A and B are shown apart, each in its own frame.
Chain A
Amino acid sequence: MSGNINRLKQFLFVDDDPEFLANIRDVFSQMSGGAWEISTAENHAQALAILQQHRMDVVVVDLDMPVVDGLQFLRLLARTHPGQQTVMWTGRGTEMSQKESLESGAALYLEKLITPEGFSAVFAALDALAGAASQEGFRGVMRRVGLQEVLQMECLGRKSSVLEIFTNKIRGRIFINEGMIVHAESGALQGEVALYGLLALRNGEFNFLPFTEPQRRTITGQWESLLMEAARLSDEGASFFPEATAETGAAALPHSPEPAEASVADAARPAAGPVRIEETLLCSGAGEVLEESGCKTPEERLRLLEQVERQAAQLSTLVPVGRFERLEIATPTGRVVCQVEPHMRLFVRSSTAKIGVA
């Protein structure tokens, strides 16, 4: 591979047919006018070896390969190279394989058309995909730098951007406008709960995209306070994504949290000790339980959240303090957080081995 990696669009085609690979290399090289650098692999092992050495804008995978087929390889790539743009293509497309491919992370599902028109159509799609991947911003890996640190730098610099975060299971975006975190979203979650969930991820990738106005701004707090709260929740192993406990570290509970960089700025917390999440209840604004763990009586926790919401509303009428965000409770044995937003309610109870408050 040449040293033009920063200039040329990098493609890896994985197909068990060497003649086909040679053919598409010739055709696409000619069509790109030298703008593409094309690598080929005849099986998943060769492909992984190439990916260890070179970063690819797009990996195009044949569905029907022996030993490790295209679908399995996509799933493998999602774990080993999260965020890698992938495309599935096949000569025998079915609705089911299309669905499975897209669910496994493929950005496109293409049919192998060997006519000039077919090659032209595939070329245009792949070229656009690689172009989008290289123009949308920087890409980083969170294994070496914390997402909180990235976000902190963006806020300190009073930047405006959209921080796109993805793992093999979770996609999310954090909107930053002139250094203020104004919105976060991930799946059904929005607002602070989405922000905290994304910031609790241990591994994944992120892209900085140009700022675009979200459909709705859901976060208004100071970014320093938000990051401190996120750090605390992360320390406690709070999990907001039911499908991603391993990625957030919650599955490893109980664990000894690392000391938080930012000390608490608000409610009391018990003295540091092993933290265990005892109860979690996440429900929609209408009261429908979306996620629950450890609650002996979810109905009672729902009632508590309703009471907290009512009490907060009463307080808001008595003192001009604005919209209610959450109630944090320190108990002799741990901590409780009740968060109430129009579209969701969250109850988390954690315990610590050491009693830190009187």
Chain B
Amino acid sequence: MKESLKQFIEAHLPLDGLAAWSARLPDRTLTSHCLNGWFTPKQVEQAVTRLALAAENLNSHSIEPARLCWVFEHARIHVALRGDKACLALFVENRPVASNAALESALEEFNGIESFRSTAVPLSGGV
């Protein structure tokens, strides 16, 4: 795990209601962690790959996503997207999250990690 990501994880995770998280780095490597038995790391990594593809697909619809939230019956999957194609996915239990500010902060801070910016590629299109 890259040092900057490790520092970010230690500073921001876990969160209240967080079941799993996964970070996809610009080189497409994945780092995942499941905090309870709800999901397996393999499930999470497969899902994150799909989530990244789905986010890229939005550009073809002239939508430039910065953050996504897939709302399901039992969970919400928050995805923070960076210009360098790194992304962070947080799998959160679908109930009122006590520390919403912490969730928001984590997603925003992920985009602010400096070392990921060296290979930044601007997303095309826009709303």
Top 3 A-B residue pairs of the complex, sorted by shortest distance between their CB atoms = A322-B73, A267-B69, A268-B67
State the A residues within 8 Å of B (CB): 220-222, 224-225, 263-268, 278, 300-301, 303-304, 307-308, 311-312, 314-316, 318-334, 336, 349, 351, 357-358
- Nearest CB in chain B: distance from A268 CB, A: 4
The residue in chain A whose Cβ has the minimal distance to the Cβ of B125 is: A331
Known: A265-B100, A311-B50, A358-B112. A321 touches B64 (CB 8 A): no
Question: Assuming A312-B70, A328-B71, what are 9 further A-B pairs, CB within 8 angstroms?
Answer: A221-B94, A222-B94, A222-B96, A265-B96, A268-B104, A303-B61, A304-B61, A315-B51, A329-B65
Known: A225-B96, A315-B51. A324 touches B72 (CB 8 A): yes
A94 CA to B37 CA, complexed, in Å: 69
Q: Are B127 and A325 in contact (CB under 8 A)?
A: no
A267 contacts across to B, CB distance below 8 A = 67-69, 76, 78
- Nearest CB in chain B: distance from A353 CB, A: 13
- Nearest CB in chain B: distance from A331 CB, A: 5
Interface size class, chain B: 35 or more
Q: List 22 A-B contacts (CB under 8 A).
A: A220-B73, A225-B96, A266-B69, A267-B78, A268-B69, A303-B61, A307-B57, A311-B57, A312-B70, A315-B70, A318-B46, A318-B47, A319-B77, A320-B74, A321-B72, A327-B68, A329-B69, A330-B67, A332-B66, A336-B63, A336-B127, A358-B66
Report B19-60 CB contacts with A as 1/0, cut-off 8 Å.
Answer: 000000000000000000011000110110011001001100
- Nearest CB in chain A: distance from B116 CB, A: 12
A224 CA to B98 CA, complexed, in Å: 12
- Nearest CB in chain B: distance from A176 CB, A: 17
The residue in chain B whose Cβ has the minimal distance to the Cβ of A355 is: B66
B121 within 8 A of A: no
A330 contacts across to B, CB distance below 8 A = 65-68
B107 within 8 A of A: yes
Q: Are A358 and B111 in contact (CB under 8 A)?
A: yes
A318 contacts across to B, CB distance below 8 A = 43, 46-47, 50
B39 contacts across to A, CB distance below 8 A = 319-320
B15 within 8 A of A: no
Q: Are A321 and B69 in contact (CB under 8 A)?
A: no
Residue among A301, A308, A319, A336 making CB contact with B44, cutoff 8 Å:
A319
A268 contacts across to B, CB distance below 8 A = 66-67, 69, 78, 80, 104, 107-108
Q: Are B107 and A321 in contact (CB under 8 A)?
A: no
The residue in chain B whose Cβ has the minimal distance to the Cβ of A303 is: B61
Q: Are B72 and A325 in contact (CB under 8 A)?
A: yes
B95 contacts across to A, CB distance below 8 A = 222, 225
Q: Are B54 and A311 in contact (CB under 8 A)?
A: yes
B58 contacts across to A, CB distance below 8 A = 304, 329
A327 contacts across to B, CB distance below 8 A = 68-71
- Nearest CB in chain B: distance from A85 CB, A: 39
Known: A263-B100, A316-B72, A324-B72. A331 touches B94 (CB 8 A): no
Q: Are A331 and B126 in contact (CB under 8 A)?
A: yes
B43 contacts across to A, CB distance below 8 A = 318-319
- Nearest CB in chain A: distance from B19 CB, A: 9
- Nearest CB in chain A: distance from B89 CB, A: 10
The residue in chain A whose Cβ has the minimal distance to the Cβ of B43 is: A319
A155 CA to B65 CA, complexed, in Å: 34
A307 contacts across to B, CB distance below 8 A = 54, 57
Q: Are B77 and A329 in contact (CB under 8 A)?
A: no
B13 within 8 A of A: no
A336 contacts across to B, CB distance below 8 A = 63, 127
Q: Are A325 and B71 in contact (CB under 8 A)?
A: yes
